[in-house]
Chain A
Amino acid sequence: MTTIIALIPALPLLSFLILVLFGGKLSRRVAGWIGAGSIGIAALLTGIAGIVLINALPNVKSYSVVLWQWMQAGNLSANIAFSLDSLSLVFCFVITFVGFLIHIYSIGFMANDEGFTRFFAYMNLFVSSMLILVLADNILLMYLGWEGVGLCSYLLIGFWYKDPANGTAARKAFIITRIGDTAMIIGIFILFVSFGTFNIQELMQMAGAKWIAGSSIAVLTAALLLGGALGKSAQLPLQTWLPDAMAGPSPVSALIHAATMVTAGVYLIARTNVLFSLAPIVQTCIAGIGALTLLIAGFSALGQHDLKRILAYSTISQIGYMFLALGVGAYSGAIFHFMIHAFFKALLFLAAGVVIQVLDEEHDIFKMGGLRKKMPVVFWTFLIGSASLSALPLVTAGFYSKDAILWFAYSSNNGGMTLWLAGITGAFLTALYSFRMIFITFYGEAKTEPSFKVGRLMTVPLIILAVLSVIGGFIELPASMGNIHMFSDLIRNTLPTVVLKNVEQLEWVFQVISSLIALSGIYLAYRFYYLKPAFIDSFHRSRLNHFFEKGFEFDKLYDVVFVKPIVWLSEVDKKDFIDLLNISVANLAIRLNLILSIAQNGKLRWYLLSFAIGIAFILTLMLKQ
């Protein structure tokens, strides 16, 4: 068992090394299958490990393996050690399994790209880092994985580096997440200074035992860790990088910016939930940030023209739901939504990738249309993904996961009417923008002709993900219908269960309301974007739509508040005292150079005369002695 756990992150790392060292000598076919195959085997191993762990539960909560000591300095020591419990199992499953499907798809998607092996090398490094992140036994190793995925995200957003805009997007993503990472590492240092260990389990036990709930140090640490989570998960106020991150290839968006990396923040908060329960203010903040983010991102998605940017805002919005669930203490709800979201959002991104590639890199949905008949497989899978995203009642997995969050947002101890209202408004927006996408892209008259037919390598992953987006929900049914809770039973072994405040079970009323809201969103999308009344065009030209399209102008705001003052200050600061000192040294050197360079005039006789004078001088000196 311990070998299996160690092999799960090691295999992708090994294949990364092979591709980096020998990538030039391998044929594309071999490189692709090494890249995808290593993830496939890791997925298989995760499956085996999962079966072993689930059979051992609840007697054995987790399996740990210490590989070697990583560093030792004074009382600071950290191991390369992994620990598999039910929470990391769910994450591992999504990373390896969805990751495997995305890798298979990428073999087809990237087939004609010149950076084929480089792409698979980066992707494998990403999967390896992400697995280290979720399997890490101590928080320092987790931080290693955390930075590793950040690096891979940077490399893959800027994958097509010949366009400078992609490089800018990559740097933006890296810098903005770095703001959060800095907060997080300070939080980690506070934890280490307080308890003298990096081991997550020990840390949580000691924090629970030693820190008083609501004490300032607990609040500070929780807030700092939350900062890291906000940056990585693109939540308010650090959300601006994710829409620009769509510059990367579509499989990257599917794997990193939808299914796995952006949910690392959710994982971090779930993993350190003890800290957050010690800091109720911070936990309330998480719920508030989640609710606000899901609304803002929902409105922004409504104003986008670019197919992938719609999905990017939708991802921000769905992670907002996860944060909302974390904030009200419904951990299993958040993790469940993470898993289902990974299925349908990866599906949507991959399908969008097919659409964009087939239409010769056309991103604008208003230049698409009528694709329903031309690409039936893509249409049906995209429809299923969108239905799951907009939580179509009863038949889709998204309904069960989102409905659970909405219910807990109202009924849990920390929840309330406001959070529920925000969530339900977000659900309405989600349905509206999802089906806006469907109606504009796949219905209406055709504007651009597909240039080729997609191969089976790309469609089969879509179909598998579409199936999962439907049946994935049936492992966790609410109390009012079916009452199956396999998933929350699994998660309960690691994370605390949600505390409900309302005794009366009115869950079905809320379910009916949210179903009606989702259906009305879809109906409105049909009215607005299929029947196309006149006012929709005027709305598209309105200033409000422009405001939505720019994502509530956060970029402009940050430009005015942070970028411009810093640029101004550095302009002013160019000539301060210390700089003058440095400049004067340089000036002195230039002056001396000017004086001495007179001597080097290229005149041979001038040199000879200097020789003669020099010799005469030396001889005179010698005679004097």
Chain B
Amino acid sequence: MLTVPVETQLLFAGILFFLGLIGLLVRRNLVFMLMSIEIMFNSAGLVFIIAARQWNQPDGQVMFIFILAVTAVEVAIGLALILQVYHHFKTLDVDAIKKLHDNS
């Protein structure tokens, strides 16, 4: 079985996380922002899997299943919110949605 050193595995997870973060900051469409968040979630889950494998403990994999469940819920709520936002503002551009800003 091919063994990849644990540092490389973690580096991969880190790259994945930053890809998600950059997507979140750069994208203006709410749907893509939600997708970027999913990527960040998965990178975090990947770290759990790596840790479980490293120490031969099942806890990390259990944790990943939890994360999957939470992500599913989050996507459901997020999509519902996006639908509402679109319904209300007729756009998905986050920069156009800034009603909370200070007037002065």
* Residues in A lying within 8 Å of B, measured CB to CB: 593-594, 597-598, 600-605, 608-609, 612
Q: Which residues of B contact A612 (CB under 8 A)?
A: 21, 25
B101 contacts A600, C-beta separation under 8 Å:
yes
Q: Which residues of B contact A602 (CB under 8 A)?
A: 97-102
B25 contacts A603, C-beta separation under 8 Å:
no
A604 contacts B25, C-beta separation under 8 Å:
no
Per a CB cutoff under 8 Å, which of A597, A600, A608 touches B24?
A608
Cα–Cα distance between A593 and B94 once the two chains are bound (Å): 25
Q: How many A-B residue pairs have CB under 8 A?
A: 35
27 contacting pairs across A/B (C-beta < 8 A): A594-B104, A597-B102, A598-B102, A600-B100, A600-B102, A601-B98, A601-B101, A602-B98, A602-B99, A602-B100, A602-B101, A602-B102, A603-B94, A603-B95, A603-B98, A603-B101, A604-B94, A604-B97, A604-B98, A605-B24, A605-B25, A605-B95, A608-B24, A608-B25, A609-B25, A612-B21, A612-B25
Across the two chains, which residue of chain A brings its CB closest to B26? A605
Q: Give me the 5 closest cross-chain CB pairs, A-B, nearest first.
A: A602-B98, A602-B101, A597-B102, A604-B94, A602-B100
Cα–Cα distance between A604 and B85 once the two chains are bound (Å): 14
Q: Which residues of A contact B102 (CB under 8 A)?
A: 597-598, 600-602
Cα–Cα distance between A612 and B101 once the two chains are bound (Å): 20
User: B53 within 8 Å of A by Cβ?
Assistant: no
Cα–Cα distance between A602 and B99 once the two chains are bound (Å): 6
- A606 to B: closest C-beta gap in Å: 9
Q: Number of B interface residues, CB 8 Å?
A: 13
Proximity bits, B76-104, A CB within 8 Å = 1, else 0 = 00000000000000000011011111101
- A152 to B: closest C-beta gap in Å: 49
Across the two chains, which residue of chain A brings its CB closest to B21? A612
Q: Which residues of B contact A603 (CB under 8 A)?
A: 94-95, 98, 101
Interface of A is mostly: helix
Q: Which residues of A contact B28 (CB under 8 A)?
A: 605
- B84 to A: closest C-beta gap in Å: 15
- B88 to A: closest C-beta gap in Å: 15
**Would A597 and B104 be within 8 Å (CB), given that A602-B98, A603-B94, A604-B97 are in contact?**
yes
Cα–Cα distance between A381 and B24 once the two chains are bound (Å): 93
Interface of B is mostly: loop
Q: Which residues of A contact B98 (CB under 8 A)?
A: 601-604
Cα–Cα distance between A601 and B104 once the two chains are bound (Å): 10
Within 8 A of A (CB), among B51-90: none
Proximity bits, B4-46, A CB within 8 Å = 1, else 0 = 0000000000000000010011001000000000000000000
Cα–Cα distance between A446 and B28 once the two chains are bound (Å): 86
Q: Which residues of A contact B99 (CB under 8 A)?
A: 602
Cα–Cα distance between A601 and B98 once the two chains are bound (Å): 7
Cα–Cα distance between A608 and B21 once the two chains are bound (Å): 9
Cα–Cα distance between A601 and B99 once the two chains are bound (Å): 9
Across the two chains, which residue of chain A brings its CB closest to B98? A602
Q: Which residues of A contact B104 (CB under 8 A)?
A: 593-594, 597
Q: 15 more A-B contacts (CB under 8 A) besides A602-B98, A602-B102?
A: A593-B104, A597-B104, A600-B100, A600-B101, A601-B101, A602-B101, A603-B95, A603-B98, A603-B101, A604-B95, A604-B97, A604-B98, A605-B24, A605-B28, A608-B25
Q: Which residues of A contact B94 (CB under 8 A)?
A: 603-605
Q: Which residues of B contact A598 (CB under 8 A)?
A: 102
Cα–Cα distance between A19 and B88 once the two chains are bound (Å): 55
- B86 to A: closest C-beta gap in Å: 15
Across the two chains, which residue of chain B brings its CB closest to A615? B21
Cα–Cα distance between A124 and B92 once the two chains are bound (Å): 70
Cα–Cα distance between A605 and B36 once the two chains are bound (Å): 13
Across the two chains, which residue of chain A brings its CB closest to B95? A603
Cα–Cα distance between A608 and B24 once the two chains are bound (Å): 8
Q: Which residues of B contact A597 (CB under 8 A)?
A: 102, 104
Cα–Cα distance between A149 and B24 once the two chains are bound (Å): 74
Q: Which residues of A contact B24 (CB under 8 A)?
A: 605, 608
Cα–Cα distance between A424 and B11 once the two chains are bound (Å): 115
Cα–Cα distance between A612 and B18 once the two chains are bound (Å): 10
- B97 to A: closest C-beta gap in Å: 7
- A618 to B: closest C-beta gap in Å: 15
Best-surrounded residue of A597, A602, A608, A612 (most CB of chain B within 10 A): A602
